[in-house]
Amino acid sequence: MSKSDGKPGLGPIAATAARGSADPLLACPSCREPMTRREVAGHYGRSGEIDFCATCRGLWFDGQELLALTPGATLELVALLGGDPEAAGEAAAPRRPRGGHRVCPRCGKALRLSHDRQRATRFAYHRCPEGHGRFLTYFQFLQAKGLVRELAGRELAALVEAVRQIRCSNCGAPVDLATGAVCSYCQTPAAVLDPTAMEEALAELRAAEEARRNKLPDPTLPLQLAIERLRIDRTFSDIRRDGGWLASGDGDWLSFGGSFTGDLVFSALGAIQRWLTGRRG
């Protein structure tokens, strides 16, 4: 939940009720483990607190916090939960398939399954019927930011030839590709990081965040985007060369290679996380 100084008219992050950092930790709506609270930047110079679960990598957003995230806060969350759970300050724990019953950590009422769309990507999330907030898995958060996509037919055929089983990027359950490419637990189709969208989004987010911090006028943003795009292109070239991605025959990427752990998305996020944590200035 966002911290507020009581001034009106400061955007959506100021519209939610204030909460002190001394409040008890929330229980994860999915696995019921205590969530970790982290302060992140909000719009209009405000700060906010995001609750995330290092066990199942779920995120709880009070009120309109999801919409109020700055580009820098989005990058921080991608880096924070994209790799080993120990990076989030918690003991590493294997992900397990999530149950279907999720409750609001504020009022205890059952969360309602809802759907939204980010550009061409349709994603699901759970919301409190009383408006207290929304719960997203980390995979759904990536979908909401347009950073993952479903596998195309040729990519799926190449994947089946390479491996027989993967782990669902949303819930962690095993997916037997011989019987289909949709998770039987949460009905999430097999998906992959979209490298083009990732490159463009990271460049845009980094440049927008630097513009926000430096109070640069909008006309300079294209130049900032171009500079960041060059930097990211070099980084992704290194990832390709080092075998962090495996290309399919038609030139599209499948996000697995020498470091494949069974999860198409998280096997690729390690390299992205290293770039985010190592090159942010």
pLDDT at 90 over 60: no
Read off the tokens for 261: 């752990």
pLDDT at 77 over 60: yes
Residue 249 Cα distances to 55, 229, 242, angstroms:
36, 26, 18
**Which residue(s) pair with 247 in the sheet?**
253
Q: Which of 35-39, 65-69, 138-142 has the lowest mean pLDDT?
A: 65-69
- Write down the pTM of the prediction: 0.69
Pairwise CA distance, residues 95 & 10, whole Å: 38
Decide if 106 contacts 89 (C-beta within 8 A).
no
Report the pLDDT value the prediction gives residue 244, as an integer from 0 to 100: 44
Pairwise CA distance, residues 256 & 244, whole Å: 7
Q: Which of 1-15, 68-82, 139-153, 176-190 has the lowest mean pLDDT?
A: 1-15
